[in-house]
Structure 1
Amino acid sequence: MTRIIAGRAGSLTLDVPDAGTRPTSDRVRESLFGALESSDLLRGAAVLDLYAGSGALAFEAVSRGAASADLVEKNPRAAAVAQRNAGRVAKAVGPDAALRVHRSGADGFLRTARGPFDVVFLDPPYDVGESELSSTLALLVPLLAEGAVVVIERGSRSPEPALPARLTATRSKRYGDTTLWWATTLAADGEDAASGGSDPAR
């Protein structure tokens, strides 16, 4: 069972697919969203959740003030679960936030999507290789807002993701078997627009 931790939909229970996905733990979500909120990166943000699974990351973001969330999930069962959860979250947060679930592979969605997105979550299956992840990130970059934050969740044994030229790594944090890698786009002056050049999550 997964619950939204805080915000307008706080404590709302979310369905989780019975197989084929790997939900982000409560510990990781609490740390992730505490960092995003402390840097005021969620309020009014356009969020993209690739490999969405149940949609817990996107729905947590909307609960805490994001203006919209696009959830991308290829697995038909998982996409159906995310759609059901979206209906519950929409009732809890009201008409201020737009929730859209796309039954699609990540790359297929990115090739036709319109941005810009301010906050992006990527939690690919562990069997997604580094070259495949790099290709997905390259497709993502043109859809990012200036100063956008990208958070990549990987197994702790995986290497640091190879980032496209317009993304720069800002930090990483390990939580047991899981590591979060943070990256951001740069402002025209070369500084991190989200934090004036500092780590957006510290």
Structure 2
Amino acid sequence: MRIIRGSRRGKQLHPPVGLPVRPTTDMAKESLFNILDNNFYFENIAVLDLFSGTGSISYEFASRGAIEVVAVEMNPKCADYIKQTAKELTFDNLMVIKGNVFSYLNSARRQFDVIFADPPYDLEGVATIPDLIIKGGFLAPDGLFVMEHGERVSFQSHSHFMEQRRYGKVNFTLFSPNQIMADDEQAV
């Protein structure tokens, strides 16, 4: 696992063995950030990273100069690893919240420019996450919500669906608060 671009470009990260995570592959992460590079100036955005795991996505945003990165992770060992790594890399723009993502979303009342979620693929309620984010008002008007998910889940009929990208077994679905399809326009 490595940081691809930005101030800590090329930095290799070595999370402890045995963390209950499935880190986003470097290839998939690089492809995702190529999409984001075409849509955002990282120096101007606030980012929310849900189900942060090892923090790989958070470090990439922080390295690229995001104003603020908030990483929410429930597993104490993972959250501690993210905090320690952010400290070692001197990412003052990265804040870690150790807690349940759904509890955080029920209590937080602010907007982010980019929200990334990488829930466990078998998480109960995974299909409700896009609505929690978009209807909850967590995305800025021109924001983007990216969800990593397994092959069995499809969001193509979601009213805020923009596109889905697949990199090996990794699927990213992009949602926009401004992308609203009428019922008769929704994908089947």
Indicate whether the TM-score tops 0.5.
yes
CA distance, structure 1, for counterparts of residue 58 and residue 4 of structure 2? 12
> Does structure 2 retain, via aligned residues, the 8 Å contact 1:106–1:136?
no
Q: Which amino acid aligns with 1:13?
A: Q
SS of corresponding position for 2:52: coil
Aligned to 1:9: 8
Gap regions ≥5 residues in structure 1: 191-202
Aligned to 1:121: 116
CA distance, structure 2, for counterparts of residue 161 and residue 46 of structure 1? 26
Aligned to 1:104: 99
Matches within 5 A, 1:60-79: 60-79=60-79
- Provide Cα deviations, 1:54-85, integer angstroms capped at 9, x if missing partner: 11101101211211000000111111111111
- Provide Cα deviations, 1:2-40, integer angstroms capped at 9, x if missing partner: 110110111223232523110000000110001111222
TM-score normalised by L of structure 1 = 0.80
| Count of residues paired in the alignment | 178
Q: 1:172 aligns with which of 149, 158, 164?
A: 164
SS of corresponding position for 2:176: strand
The alpha-carbon distance between structure 1 residues 178 and 74, as it changes in their structure 2 partners (threshold 3 A), is same
Structure 1 residue 171: deviation in Å? 0.8
Q: 1:153 aligns with which of 148, 154, 164?
A: 148
SS of corresponding position for 1:139: helix
CA distance, structure 1, for counterparts of residue 85 and residue 113 of structure 2? 22
SS of corresponding position for 1:27: helix
- Provide Cα deviations, 1:88-123, integer angstroms capped at 9, x if missing partner: 23x2x5x5xx21101111111111113210001110
Identity, % of aligned pairs?
32
SS of corresponding position for 1:40: coil
CA distance, structure 2, for counterparts of residue 54 and residue 161 of structure 1? 28
Structure 1 residue 41: deviation in Å? 4.7
> Does structure 1 retain, via aligned residues, the 8 Å contact 2:148–2:172?
yes
Q: Which amino acid aligns with 1:12?
A: K
CA distance, structure 1, for counterparts of residue 102 and residue 112 of structure 2? 15
CA distance, structure 1, for counterparts of residue 81 and residue 142 of structure 2? 31
Gap regions ≥5 residues in structure 2: 181-188
Structure 1 residue 162: deviation in Å? 6.6
CA distance, structure 1, for counterparts of residue 156 and residue 101 of structure 2? 16
TM-score normalised by L of structure 2 = 0.86
Kindly report the root-mean-square deviation, in angstroms, between the aligned alpha carbons of the 2 structures.
2.1
